[in-house]
Amino acid sequence: MRIAVCPGSFDPVTEGHLDVIKRATQLFDKVIVSVIENPRKKPLLSVKQRINFLKNATKDLSNVEVEGFSGLLIDFARRKKANAILKGLRAVSDFEYEFQMAQMNRKLDSKIETIFIITSPIFAYLSSSMVKEVAQYNGCIEGLVPKEVSVEFNKVFQKNKRRK
129 labelled catalytic: no
Quote the CA–CA distance of 85 and 104 in Å, as a whole number: 12
CA-wise closest residue to 150 among 77, 72, 36, 56: 56
Of 4, 36, 57, 141, the residue at the interface with ligand PNS (CB under 6 A) is 36
Among 34, 50, 87, 128, the one annotated catalytic: 128
In this chain, which stretch among 3-11, 51-59, 119-127, 146-154 interacts with ligand PNS, using CB under 6 A?
A: 3-11
Residues 6+ apart with CB under 8 A from 61: 21, 22, 25, 31
Nearer to ligand PNS, 8 or 16 (CB): 8
H/E element, 38:
none
Residues annotated as catalytic (active site), given as ranges = 17, 41, 90, 128
In the complex, the residues that contact ligand PNS under the rule CB under 6 A are: 7-9, 36, 39, 72-74, 101, 104-105
